[in-house]
């Protein structure tokens, strides 16, 4: 080691900066509210029957007296089933299209204890009438520039517990599909950045894993291609053909009404949970 060489320690690491730099280098394109408005119906169709819902709910504690705030709720993937187990749910999303789907589905299911709020992470939620809730959830919704600020914000709106779900790279993407199209794959930041950011905030979350099956079922080859196409920005017609060819090679079972595609990379998510008691004083 050279004389006078600067020695860095853990506390010198700027995880917020690393998070932003990794987001900038990722292969996939972040979607804005208008993008989600357009994709709301297709997204709802993919997620409503996903085993992810049951796996998530099996790892958190709910009871009829609780109030729950779901931040980045989408079409109600979690908000609606949670509403059947608690006193009330407030669902926040910056996509009005997502909220419209949630409200229609709530009406169809006759769920009356869910209220929706059209706002985003950067908004001051209290100005939209959002108050602290017992439980605050942010499930797969924290692909945002100011992650540290968002984590602290969740703590200000929780009176009991906070649950955050972050991706475990390369989830939910399929690197082999990128390779089949001749595209470089850069995953971007995953849960480990969030864990380290929480640590530097003085929070030590409980970490558990949500893992989906390797095999995915689709109604048709066209549906499978659509189920993969969302991964790519600016997908060209020739690339779409290559993607279809790749998926055909991954089909392990095909019937008249569905087909099953097997992935090499299992989709995995990290559930990070902590209580208000875990928060440093002066939060």
pLDDT at 47 over 70: no
**Using one digit for the tens of pLDDT, what is the confidence trace for 110-164?**
999 999 999 999 999 999 999 999 999 999 999 888 999 999 999 999 999 999 9
pLDDT confidence band for 54 (50 / 70 / 90): very high
Percentage, residues of the chain above pLDDT 70: 89
User: pTM to 2 decimals?
Assistant: 0.89
Q: Report the relative pairing of strands 133-139 and 158-167 from DSSP bridges.
A: parallel
**Using one digit for the tens of pLDDT, what is the confidence trace for 223-242?**
899 889 888 888 899 999 99
Q: CA-to-CA distance for 104 and 139, rounded, in angstroms?
A: 21
Please give the pLDDT value at position 227.
Answer: 86
**Using one digit for the tens of pLDDT, what is the confidence trace for 151-195?**
999 999 999 999 999 999 999 999 999 999 999 999 899 999 999
pLDDT at 3 over 60: no
Please give the pLDDT value at position 1.
Answer: 42
Question: 3-class DSSP state for residue 97?
Answer: helix
pLDDT at 43 over 70: no
List the 206-211 sheet strands across, edge first: 114-118, 88-93, 67-71, 133-139, 158-167, 268-275, 206-211
**Degrees to nearest 5, angle at CA 78 with 188 and 231:** 30
The pLDDT of 31-47, averaged and rounded, is 54
More confident residue, 173 or 37: 173
Domains of the chain, residue spans? 13-214+266-276
CATH class of 13-214+266-276: alpha beta
Percentage, residues of the chain above pLDDT 90: 72
Residue with tokens 């958190």, as numbered in its chain: 60
pLDDT confidence band for 222 (50 / 70 / 90): very high
More confident residue, 196 or 282: 196
Residue 255, both tokens: 């019937």
pLDDT at 50 over 70: yes
pLDDT at 40 over 50: no
Please give the pLDDT value at position 255.
Answer: 87
- The lowest-confidence range among 3-12, 209-218, 264-273 is 3-12
More confident residue, 263 or 43: 263
SS (H, E, C) 106-175: HHHCCCCCEEEEECCCCCCHHHHCCCCEEEEEEECCCCCCCHHHHHHHHHHCEEEEEEEEEECCCCCCCH
Count of C-beta atoms within a 10 Å radius of residue 127 = 8
Q: CA-to-CA distance for 76 and 84, rounded, in angstroms?
A: 12
The whole-chain average pLDDT of the chain stands at 89
């Amino acid at each position: 080691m050279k004389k006078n060489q600067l020695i860095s320690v853990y506390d010198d690491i700027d995880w917020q900066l690393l998070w932003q730099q990794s987001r900038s280098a990722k292969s996939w394109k972040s979607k804005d509210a208008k993008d989600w408005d357009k994709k709301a119906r297709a997204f709802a169709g993919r997620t409503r029957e996903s085993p992810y819902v049951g796996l998530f709910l099996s790892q958190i504690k709910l009871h009829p007296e609780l109030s729950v705030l779901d931040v980045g709720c989408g079409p109600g993937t979690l908000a609606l089933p949670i509403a059947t187990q608690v006193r009330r749910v407030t669902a926040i999303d910056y996509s009005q299209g997502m909220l419209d789907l949630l409200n229609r589905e709530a009406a169809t299911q006759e769920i009356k204890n869910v209220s929706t709020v059209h706002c985003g992470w950067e908004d001051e939620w209290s100005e939209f009438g959002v108050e602290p809730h017992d439980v605050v959830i942010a499930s797969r919704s924290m692909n945002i520039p100011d992650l540290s600020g968002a984590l602290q914000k969740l703590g200000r709106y929780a009176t009991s517990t906070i649950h955050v779900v972050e991706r475990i790279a390369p989830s939910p993407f399929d690197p082999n599909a990128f390779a089949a199209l001749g595209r470089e794959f850069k995953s971007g930041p995953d849960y480990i950045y969030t864990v380290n950011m929480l640590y530097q905030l003085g929070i030590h979350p409980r970490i558990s894993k949500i893992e989906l099956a390797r095999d995915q079922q689709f109604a048709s080859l066209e549906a499978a291609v659509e189920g993969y196409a969302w991964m790519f920005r600016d997908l060209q017609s020739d690339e779409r053909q290559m993607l279809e060819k790749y998926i055909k090679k991954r089909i392990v079972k095909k019937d008249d009404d569905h087909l099953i595609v097997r992935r090499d990379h299992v989709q995995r998510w990290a559930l990070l949970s902590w209580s208000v008691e875990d928060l440093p004083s002066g939060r």
